[in-house]
Structure 1
Amino acid sequence: MHFDEILSLVGGFGKFQKVLYVWICLPQIFLAFHMLVSVFTGAVPPHLCRSTVRPADLNLNLSLLSSTDADPELSCGIPLNHSAAAGPGHGVPPGSCQGGWEYSTETFHSTIVTEWDLVCDRASLNHFGSSIYMFGLLVGAVVFGSLADKYGRRNIVLISLTIQVVFGVCAAFAPNFYIYTALRFMVGTSISGVIMNVFVLGTEWTGSKERMLAGIITDYFFGFGYIMLAGVAYLIRDWRKLQLAISAPGFLFISYFWLLPKSARWLMANDRKEEAWELIRKAARMNGKPLTKDLEMWEVNKIEEKTEVKRKHSFIDLVQTPKMRKQSLIVFYLWFVNVLVYYGLSLNISDFGMNIFLTQLVFGLVEMPARTITLFTLNRSRRISHSAFLAVGGTACLLTIFIPDDLTVVKTVLAMTGKFGITASLSIIYVYSAEVFPTVIRQNGVGISSMCARIGGALAPMMHFLRAISPQAPMVLCGICPLLGSGLTLLLPETAHKPLPDTIEDVEGYTIRVKDGGVKPVV
């Protein structure tokens, strides 16, 4: 008997699962905070070199820069004894300021940029810091993905939440930029551990009919965090207080040591049937569908018949067989391109020329209808839905390159449309990939997928440097990559309304039997 059939007997999305999803969804709000807070803590206010402008003129010139929405790096080339309004010149080479920098406090009281002078010749450190944080997500995906398959989803979630709150709070007291970056790197590793494992834990406890809805619910809470961050950052303009505000509440997750259950599906796949059945009985009781003893013993026997051959699995199994290899490589690319474009748009909202808090709010609000629409399309087809939304996102991003710079509203609307398509496709790939990979290597598959996604995330802040080649280069990349992914998605199998595969043999379409002491595939 398939585990999904057991779930149908105990309730695929009853009270037990609903309570579980409450615990799964709450951390998503704080994940959004940590993922996007650098938009505000790393913001670059208008600034001037004290040695280039008379002290009496500093406030006036900073006000001019702020009111005209000038490029923050304009002041790097302001000549000696000239006002900010005069524009860039050749009297002071960029980065040669000896008297220190003066920053406008009209929007932010302090950021890591103003505290550690990450402007002009040091401006690249700000982008590299964001990339190192994203690289932390990559390391976390590799480490926590494999550990979760070995030690269980729940244990890794608890460890990751602990790392997140401890290092997140410490980052608020960092004495210099390099320690701050190292602490943020550790927070990044924990983000991957939480994102991957709470999602897989929820998926493995949810019946096939409700799996899609449950997966989208977690994404909603990330969207809520996205929107809430705009308000929190608007109220708290000091970066240290903001960092503390998004991190300290994480101590409440200590209660998860008593609240969060293990995955019965993972326990069953790892031959820990007694623990699994104890949890299944608990779920059945909470859902009002207790199992009879005779039925329970019959199900155990059926499961033992199906799993008569056991072997250890690793990430190598993702590419050893033909269908599994093709599906894995496509899913890996889809995660990469979704996250590259998602954070390429999200972390560079200042490029669109509108108020940073308003743009953050609008981009957050776009997430809600984007996630909602997938509820109506996923039930019909995972494959067509994902392909279509990638095509919408890529096309909208490409169209922005044809809009003049002075039409900022039009460019922002197109960027929002691109964000809409990418957000919807990102919601789908979470559900889709969990259904493509079989239980025995699901966490390995999601882990390496997340690793590929984090490569995209690490490269997203670097897209800013492509503007040195052409101002349109970042949006061209954000358009072409999703369109390629849209075509590749059509090569994946349809998984809507189908049970989760438990073994690689389920994916390949053949069974395994033991013959003459060996393992033989039977087509």
Structure 2
Amino acid sequence: MNFEEILSAIGGFGKYQKILYVWICLPQIFLAFHMMVSVFTGATPPYRCRESPSAGAGRGSSIPGKLSLNDSLSDSSCFSADALLRENRSERVPCAHGWVFSRETFQSTTVTEWDLVCDKADLNSFGISLYMLGLMVGSVLFGAMADRYGRRFVLLLGIALQTVFGVAVAFAPNFAIYVILRFVVGSTVSGVIINAFVLGTEWTCTKKRMLAGIITDYAFGLGYMLLAGIAYLIRDWRKLQLAISTPGFLLFFYIWVLPHSARWLLAKDRREEAIALLHKAALVNGRALPPTLRVEKVLGGEKQNNSPLDIIRMPQMRKRAVILFYIWFVTVLVYYGLSLGVSRLGTNLYLTQFVFGLIEIPARTLVLLVLPFSRRLSQCAFLALGGVACLLMLAVPADRTYVLAGLAIVGKFGITASFAVIYVYTAELFPTVLRQTGLGLSCMFARMGGVLAPIINMLHNHSPAAPLVIFGTAPLLGAALALALPETADRPLPDTVEEAENYWSARHPDKDDSEMSEGITQTTRSTEGQEQNVTSEA
């Protein structure tokens, strides 16, 4: 028997797996908090130059009267009203006493506390980019650790570090420490995301794998919407940071309830532990392991020792990896480019942020409907939708804020759906022995997109069309490249590098399609010169 048949025999998505997904989904809510909180904690309210120390009490304080966004765009926002006469011409005088900020929307943000405006405005975007860099480092670090030490250990470690350092961010004494702590939080977020997803995927049978993978995305969307409500109630950035971080301590009990991946244990030749877990899962699901089970043949009867270099050593895996890496890059680039640029739309920040989170629910629901038919075409279509929506925004006048917001929501819809597809697609194309490493490398390229997103948004100050051109054309190229990937719908997960390399033969697409339509998938795998026919679950 292969592992897919074992999962089917014990209940591929029974009570045991459903309980596991409850534990996997809870951290996803907190991940959304940490990912998007900078929209509020790093917001820049209207401001203008403080003319004298007595004009306001303390850093970031406001003065009577309302400030509008136009105040921040005028000379008074960065320069004093006084002027110096030098060489028969007047020169503007930089603010000597700091700035005053409107408190109509925010009590405090990192911008108001550390005066991240005017010549320091780029530091705000730098902080977001460094957080995204943490996501990139974490995806590689925690991905490699998980393939070596197991999904469970690294997931628990990521949750613990995320909670501790997330709380520490709220007490950062200066901007430098704040950025460093956020970098660490970002690295742990990647560790939790990829390990939770892979752990759930490896416990789920072929037919339910796609459904189970997207369930976690619903939890992320829920966290996205909840953050808008929490931020609306808590307008002080330090209190908001504490509010989204401290609940992580409630997940301490995960030490006792979170299981290992039986598939990973088998790949590491820890058969007794794997059999014990499979027996437990079968018991919870009201099933029993087949009496003919011979675990030594599930993965070829020997320990799998592989290197990340195997991903580029094999020609088919190398081609697929390059395409996947680009799609990850462009998906995250546009996703966070739109999400972090929400304040430029000119609409209510809290309402728009809530709608941006709400739109993720129908986007992922549509993925559930179309993904069973084709991973490849779904990936292509959703990337194209996101890119076209961004390009259409170029034709809308700047004063049509609600039209721009509507197109941005459509673009967010397409890119969110693409995000849901690429997670499932990547997990299905990489083998068990390198799945976590493959996802980690994919996320590394994705986080490169996250690092560049706030930098590209900064181009808006010089050319408002530049970010939209980039966010529009890059996904269209990704949509074209997606057509070169193999179809993985209703196919068993590959376990070894050889199985992944021979996962799908481009020479016989018609045969594969006809077999899948009949519900019986047969793949010929060549391992050490021997052929093995494996029939997957109908």
TM-score by length of 1: 0.92
Is 2:341 aligned against 1:348?
A: yes
Match of 1:48 in 2: 48
Taking a change above 3 Å as real, the CA distance of residues 3 and 167 of structure 1, as seen in their structure-2 partners, is same
Is 2:314 aligned against 1:317?
A: no
Q: Which of 282, 285, 304 is the matching residue for 1:284?
A: 282
* Residues 238-273 of structure 1 deviation map (CA, whole Å, 9 limit, x = unaligned): 000000000000001111100100000000111111
User: What is the distance in 1 between the residues matched to 2:254 and 2:373?
Assistant: 35
- Per the TM alignment, residue 348 of structure 1 is displaced from its structure 2 partner at its CA by 1.1
Q: Which of 84, 109, 131 is the matching residue for 1:111?
A: 109
Match of 1:377 in 2: 370
- Per the TM alignment, residue 514 of structure 1 is displaced from its structure 2 partner at its CA by 7.3
Match of 2:129 in 1: 131
User: SS where residue 380 of structure 2 aligns?
Assistant: helix
Kindly, what percent of the aligned residue pairs are identical? 58
- Per the TM alignment, residue 512 of structure 1 is displaced from its structure 2 partner at its CA by 2.5
User: AA paired with 1:10?
Assistant: I
Q: How does 1:330-345 map to 2 (within 5 A)?
A: 330-345=323-338
Taking a change above 3 Å as real, the CA distance of residues 295 and 136 of structure 1, as seen in their structure-2 partners, is same
Q: How does 1:499-514 map to 2 (within 5 A)?
A: 499-509=492-502, 511-513=526-528
User: AA paired with 1:159?
Assistant: L
* Residues 374-413 of structure 1 deviation map (CA, whole Å, 9 limit, x = unaligned): 0100011111011001000000001101111011111111
- Per the TM alignment, residue 78 of structure 1 is displaced from its structure 2 partner at its CA by 5.3
Residue ranges of structure 2 left out of the alignment (5+ in a row) = 84-89, 503-524, 532-538
User: AA paired with 1:17?
Assistant: Q
User: SS where residue 92 of structure 1 aligns?
Assistant: strand
Q: Which of 435, 439, 445 is the matching residue for 1:452?
A: 445
Query: Contact 1:45 / 1:104 at 8 angstroms: preserved in 2?
Result: yes
* Residues 11-51 of structure 1 deviation map (CA, whole Å, 9 limit, x = unaligned): 01000000000000000000000000000000001111111
User: What is the distance in 2 between the residues matched to 1:432 and 1:311?
Assistant: 23
Is 2:310 aligned against 1:295?
A: no
User: What is the distance in 2 between the residues matched to 1:71 and 1:376?
Assistant: 48
User: What is the distance in 1 between the residues matched to 2:218 and 2:104?
Assistant: 33
Query: Contact 1:49 / 1:102 at 8 angstroms: preserved in 2?
Result: yes
- Per the TM alignment, residue 311 of structure 1 is displaced from its structure 2 partner at its CA by 4.8
Q: Which of 483, 489, 504 is the matching residue for 1:490?
A: 483
- Per the TM alignment, residue 467 of structure 1 is displaced from its structure 2 partner at its CA by 2.1
Q: Which of 428, 433, 440 is the matching residue for 2:433?
A: 440
- Per the TM alignment, residue 291 of structure 1 is displaced from its structure 2 partner at its CA by 2.1
Match of 1:25 in 2: 25
Match of 2:403 in 1: 410
* Residues 410-460 of structure 1 deviation map (CA, whole Å, 9 limit, x = unaligned): 111111100000000001101110001011111110000011111111111
Q: How does 1:150-169 map to 2 (within 5 A)?
A: 150-169=148-167
- Per the TM alignment, residue 362 of structure 1 is displaced from its structure 2 partner at its CA by 1.2
Q: How does 1:224-235 map to 2 (within 5 A)?
A: 224-235=222-233
Query: Contact 2:386 / 2:475 at 8 angstroms: preserved in 1?
Result: yes
Taking a change above 3 Å as real, the CA distance of residues 264 and 171 of structure 1, as seen in their structure-2 partners, is same
Taking a change above 3 Å as real, the CA distance of residues 61 and 462 of structure 1, as seen in their structure-2 partners, is farther
Q: Which of 473, 479, 487 is the matching residue for 2:466?
A: 473
Match of 1:240 in 2: 238
User: SS where residue 161 of structure 1 aligns?
Assistant: helix
Larger displacement relative to structure 2 (404-413 or 16-25): 404-413
User: AA paired with 1:300?
Assistant: V
- Per the TM alignment, residue 466 of structure 1 is displaced from its structure 2 partner at its CA by 1.6
User: SS where residue 315 of structure 1 aligns?
Assistant: coil
Query: Contact 2:51 / 2:80 at 8 angstroms: preserved in 1?
Result: no
Q: Which of 137, 141, 153 is the matching residue for 1:143?
A: 141
User: What is the distance in 1 between the residues matched to 2:319 and 2:193?
Assistant: 25
User: SS where residue 258 of structure 1 aligns?
Assistant: helix
Larger displacement relative to structure 2 (462-471 or 138-147): 462-471
User: AA paired with 1:76?
Assistant: S
- Per the TM alignment, residue 469 of structure 1 is displaced from its structure 2 partner at its CA by 4.2
User: SS where residue 106 of structure 1 aligns?
Assistant: coil
Backbone CA RMSD of aligned residues: 2.0
User: What is the distance in 2 between the residues matched to 1:280 and 1:97?
Assistant: 67
* Residues 204-232 of structure 1 deviation map (CA, whole Å, 9 limit, x = unaligned): 00001001111111000000000000000
Q: How many correspondences in the alignment?
A: 498
TM-score by length of 2: 0.89
Match of 1:80 in 2: 81
Taking a change above 3 Å as real, the CA distance of residues 40 and 59 of structure 1, as seen in their structure-2 partners, is closer
Query: Contact 2:268 / 2:304 at 8 angstroms: preserved in 1?
Result: no
User: SS where residue 48 of structure 2 aligns?
Assistant: strand
Q: Which runs of 4+ in 1 moved over 6 A?
A: 58-61
User: What is the distance in 1 between the residues matched to 2:473 and 2:37?
Assistant: 28
Q: Which of 175, 178, 202 is the matching residue for 1:177?
A: 175
- Per the TM alignment, residue 508 of structure 1 is displaced from its structure 2 partner at its CA by 2.3
Residue ranges of structure 1 left out of the alignment (5+ in a row) = 83-89
Query: Contact 1:440 / 1:502 at 8 angstroms: preserved in 2?
Result: yes
Query: Contact 1:133 / 1:188 at 8 angstroms: preserved in 2?
Result: yes
User: What is the distance in 2 between the residues matched to 1:374 and 1:423?
Assistant: 10
User: What is the distance in 1 between the residues matched to 2:374 and 2:223?
Assistant: 28
User: SS where residue 460 of structure 1 aligns?
Assistant: helix
Query: Contact 1:435 / 1:495 at 8 angstroms: preserved in 2?
Result: yes
Q: Which of 350, 361, 384 is the matching residue for 1:357?
A: 350
Query: Contact 2:48 / 2:71 at 8 angstroms: preserved in 1?
Result: no
Query: Contact 1:314 / 1:444 at 8 angstroms: preserved in 2?
Result: no
- Per the TM alignment, residue 323 of structure 1 is displaced from its structure 2 partner at its CA by 0.6
